[in-house]
Chain A
């Protein structure tokens, strides 16, 4: 767990204070105050300011979507002037670097992104309509697990975590992945998300060249089966019972929840026999789908997408989009609430 009970309590406390005043759309006046009084170019992460002029910027001035696109800034100063003057509803920056960003021409490379939105999590413990402290903390736990896999298994470096206002962006600037195409990106995504059911059969690949063995994912405590096991354990432990998941019918869902305590001690073998081998197969297939749906996969494979600019204001929920420095203990209610919200009290 990323958040211990005590920190969850403190969340609840803050939630009571802010619950009725945060997550409201920021007024034009509040946006002005934010960009003119609080925003500072010094807060822009270095990975954003490096090669700034090779990125495309996009803006949403009225809250209707980012329709002011293809903007380019020579440096931090011109960006600052623009933001102070226009105080946009939302500001975005491309994951792509171009020689000619004004026309999105001559593409050079793109960051590799995982987008986890708390409100779109297919399994979450809360009942809120949009986002709340519970689903936000669950989104953080999920992205932390993903970063562990990206670093630990895949050895990927230059990873930045951004709190986007309603979820998290993992932004990766690893040189060898940045110039890769969508195909490679979707293969990495499947591994990191746990979107594929691990193979059952191990041993020799060719016919007639010796014996092969069957192993369920939980019997192999390393490599991809370990990632998959961890992801579905998380899912099972967070089920509420009212989820609609393909391949998992109501009865199966009920039985999964009934027997899930066995997984606290990783007694997967017994858990599987309680569920029954055929239904277990359905569960695993359904969970692989849930894992894929946890991430907005089309963001990951898109080479030209624009993402919320770190330091900008997410006006719809009145939260700041900020880089997460300490991913284990990040608390959006401490680090991403703009001053004007405090003053709404």
Chain B
């Protein structure tokens, strides 16, 4: 029987393993037992030494590597990481899971891409491990873990509201009745048996719910619990000194992720704040539909929010600091990038004012006070024009998410294909720009823009 902690490293059993065998002194020591398991796995590719994790620390890095490679490498060979799906590795895997958690929580930001990759990789590992189990065993372990996670027969969806709010699970994918998530076959047939006219209810149960919804809930709950665990370690870490091995591991994880992402996608940038601090002229062809529409002018009803909240923040960040969401937690001001406000006054504000003028009726005609609000959203307090002396009196607002735009300004949301992949207009812009550069479509215009961009380059170096 598979150990529960093979699927859920946060289970009590997993914690026992860490207590017994987790030793911070030996994070990077060669571990014969681990090497033996890896090299004796039937499917494991062992003709390259670099494929074999020799220590718990190595294994921790490989876990995330597997996820990024699998997602991006066209020639990916799962047999290079076959050991990750071998039950015998459970103990070492649980220890490496807790090591990554500590390394990320104590040294990196909880919203960092390292944390995100770790949580996502955990979800994928669970899915693949479940797929590889024999059917009966898979059913059994899913039920056992769910019983531990949920404790009760009928789960109310509100028990999972954290998962719903963070969009790990969509309410629309669940079968809900009187607030309960219906998972049990008998319960399903009792409640809905008479609703199916042309199809057998038990067959429909297998298709609509079956094991897939249970596995979805289980996977997402463990991902959420991993996030919560990171948060908990972070809160505790302020009181204790971080072990050097953990610091070393966190550096290695960050480095490995940085290398892999830059290898596979120019979109992620070189990594690190310097790499993504590049600024360039605004490329209107890369604007998402909502912004393009706003620039052309909005009719009364959504005018104020579209110009003051959406466009102002979008244009300023797109022009000055498009990488804001990749470097969350970084405290950045307009003047860090545009020290004399040359770009803000000559490029950003004119574009916003022009869009305001395109509105019907023109925004400032009846609401001149909105100029003050625009200044305020750039972080320069409540004044008609931005001045360095007032910087910091208010916050430089980041653009609202697509989700918020849909709710606040539904008339602007006319998604195109690229929109499906992103959650914020700013990410759309970065991605579209990157795609255009890749396809060479506007390579010339980008280059010429950069060439004529002496001011901002100088500013950036100051």
Task: Return the CB mask of A197-209 against B: 1 if under 8 Å, else 0.
Answer: 0110011111111
For B131, the chain A residues whose CB sits under 8 A away are: 206-209
Interface-centre pick from A220, A222, A298, A300 (highest chain B CB count, 10 A):
A222
Task: Return the CB mask of A157-195 against B: 1 if under 8 Å, else 0.
Answer: 000000000000000000011001111101111110000
What is the bound-complex CA distance between A154 and B161, given in angstroms? 12
For B172, the chain A residues whose CB sits under 8 A away are: 190-191, 196, 198-199, 224
What is the bound-complex CA distance between A246 and B192, given in angstroms? 35
Contact of A154 among B176, B204, B414 (CB under 8 A): B176
Q: Kindly identify, within residues 213 to 230 of chain B, every residue whose CB is under 8 Å from any CB belonging to chain A.
A: 215-216
Supposing A187-B165, A205-B127, A213-B207 touch, asked if A221 and B178 sit within 8 A by C-beta, the answer is no
* Interchain nearest-CB distance for B84 vs A (Å): 15
Stretch with Cβ within 8 A of A (4 or more), from B257-265, B291-299, B334-342, B401-409: B401-409
Nearest A residue to B219, CB-CB:
A205
Contact of B179 among A155, A186, A202, A246 (CB under 8 A): A155
What is the bound-complex CA distance between A298 and B406, given in angstroms? 9
- Interface check A153, CB cutoff 8 A: yes
Contact of A186 among B175, B204, B403 (CB under 8 A): B403
For B215, the chain A residues whose CB sits under 8 A away are: 205-206
CB <8 Å contact, A176 and B161: yes
- Interface check A152, CB cutoff 8 A: yes
For B180, the chain A residues whose CB sits under 8 A away are: 155
What is the bound-complex CA distance between A213 and B127, given in angstroms? 20
* Interchain nearest-CB distance for B293 vs A (Å): 12
For B176, the chain A residues whose CB sits under 8 A away are: 153-155, 223-224
For A222, the chain B residues whose CB sits under 8 A away are: 175, 177, 192, 195, 208
CB <8 Å contact, B216 and A246: no
CB <8 Å contact, B406 and A183: no
- Interface check A156, CB cutoff 8 A: yes
What is the bound-complex CA distance between A289 and B408, given in angstroms? 13
Interface size class, chain A: 35 or more
For A181, the chain B residues whose CB sits under 8 A away are: 165
For A198, the chain B residues whose CB sits under 8 A away are: 172
* Interchain nearest-CB distance for B120 vs A (Å): 14
- Interface check B130, CB cutoff 8 A: yes
Interface-centre pick from A152, A209, A213, A301 (highest chain B CB count, 10 A):
A209
Supposing A187-B171, A208-B131, A223-B208 touch, asked if A301 and B407 sit within 8 A by C-beta, the answer is yes
CB <8 Å contact, A152 and B178: yes
Supposing A222-B192, A224-B171, A297-B406 touch, asked if A180 and B212 sit within 8 A by C-beta, the answer is no
What is the bound-complex CA distance between A176 and B210, given in angstroms? 29
For A180, the chain B residues whose CB sits under 8 A away are: 161, 165
What is the bound-complex CA distance between A161 and B157, given in angstroms? 23
- Interface check A292, CB cutoff 8 A: yes
- Interface check A293, CB cutoff 8 A: yes
For B156, the chain A residues whose CB sits under 8 A away are: 155
* Interchain nearest-CB distance for A65 vs B (Å): 12
CB <8 Å contact, A205 and B208: no
Interface-centre pick from A202, A208, A289 (highest chain B CB count, 10 A):
A202
Q: Kindly identify, within residues 286 to 318 of chain A, every residue whose CB is under 8 Å from any CB belonging to chain B.
A: 289, 292-293, 297-298, 300-301
Task: Return the CB mask of B436-457 against A: 1 if under 8 Å, else 0.
Answer: 0000000000000000000000
What is the bound-complex CA distance between A263 and B176, given in angstroms? 25
Supposing A183-B166, A196-B172, A222-B192 touch, asked if A205 and B212 sit within 8 A by C-beta, the answer is yes
CB <8 Å contact, A202 and B407: no
Supposing A153-B177, A155-B156, A300-B407 touch, asked if A205 and B161 sit within 8 A by C-beta, the answer is no
* Interchain nearest-CB distance for A114 vs B (Å): 12
Count of chain B residues near A, Cβ 8 A: 42
- Interface check B146, CB cutoff 8 A: no
CB <8 Å contact, A203 and B196: no
Interface-centre pick from A153, A156, A186, A189 (highest chain B CB count, 10 A):
A153
Task: Return the CB mask of B163-198 against A: 1 if under 8 Å, else 0.
Answer: 011110011111111111000000000001001110
Supposing A293-B410, A297-B406 touch, asked if A203 and B212 sit within 8 A by C-beta, the answer is yes
For B208, the chain A residues whose CB sits under 8 A away are: 202, 220, 222-223
What is the bound-complex CA distance between A289 and B412, given in angstroms? 12
SS of B interface (majority): helix
Task: Return the CB mask of B51-76 against A: 1 if under 8 Å, else 0.
Answer: 00000000000000000000000000
Interface-centre pick from A152, A177, A208, A298 (highest chain B CB count, 10 A):
A298
* Interchain nearest-CB distance for A176 vs B (Å): 5
CB <8 Å contact, A184 and B195: no
Supposing A154-B157, A183-B165, A184-B165 touch, asked if A221 and B196 sit within 8 A by C-beta, the answer is yes
What is the bound-complex CA distance between A223 and B204, given in angstroms? 13
Supposing A153-B177, A184-B165, A224-B171 touch, asked if A203 and B210 sit within 8 A by C-beta, the answer is yes
Nearest A residue to B158, CB-CB:
A176
CB <8 Å contact, B207 and A202: yes
Supposing A186-B407, A203-B207 touch, asked if A154 and B165 sit within 8 A by C-beta, the answer is no
For A186, the chain B residues whose CB sits under 8 A away are: 403, 407
Supposing A206-B131, A222-B195, A300-B407 touch, asked if A188 and B171 sit within 8 A by C-beta, the answer is yes
- Interface check B128, CB cutoff 8 A: yes
For B195, the chain A residues whose CB sits under 8 A away are: 221-222
What is the bound-complex CA distance between A188 and B157, given in angstroms? 11
For B178, the chain A residues whose CB sits under 8 A away are: 152-153, 155
* Interchain nearest-CB distance for B253 vs A (Å): 26
Nearest A residue to B206, CB-CB:
A203
For B414, the chain A residues whose CB sits under 8 A away are: 246
Task: Return the CB mask of B89-105 against A: 1 if under 8 Å, else 0.
Answer: 00000000000000000
For B410, the chain A residues whose CB sits under 8 A away are: 289, 292-293, 297
Supposing A155-B180, A156-B179, A196-B172 touch, asked if A205 and B407 sit within 8 A by C-beta, the answer is no
Supposing A293-B410, A298-B408, A300-B407 touch, asked if A206 and B175 sit within 8 A by C-beta, the answer is no
For B407, the chain A residues whose CB sits under 8 A away are: 186, 189, 297-298, 300-301
For A191, the chain B residues whose CB sits under 8 A away are: 171-172
What is the bound-complex CA distance between A186 and B177, given in angstroms? 20
For A177, the chain B residues whose CB sits under 8 A away are: 158
For A293, the chain B residues whose CB sits under 8 A away are: 410
What is the bound-complex CA distance between A191 and B173, given in angstroms? 10
Contact of A187 among B127, B167, B177, B179 (CB under 8 A): B167
What is the bound-complex CA distance between A186 and B167, given in angstroms? 10
For B130, the chain A residues whose CB sits under 8 A away are: 206, 209
**Supplied contacts A183-B403, A208-B131, 17 more A-B pairs, CB within 8 Å:** A153-B177, A153-B178, A154-B171, A176-B158, A182-B404, A187-B167, A190-B172, A191-B171, A196-B172, A202-B207, A202-B208, A204-B210, A206-B130, A206-B215, A222-B192, A224-B174, A289-B410
The 3 A-B pairs with the shortest beta carbon distances in the complex, nearest first, are: A155-B179, A184-B165, A297-B407
7 CB contacts below 8 A, A to B, read A155-B176, A183-B165, A187-B165, A198-B172, A204-B210, A223-B176, A224-B171
Q: Which residues of B contact A (CB under 8 A)?
A: 127-128, 130-131, 156-158, 161, 164-167, 170-180, 192, 195-197, 204, 207-208, 210-212, 215-216, 403-404, 406-408, 410, 414
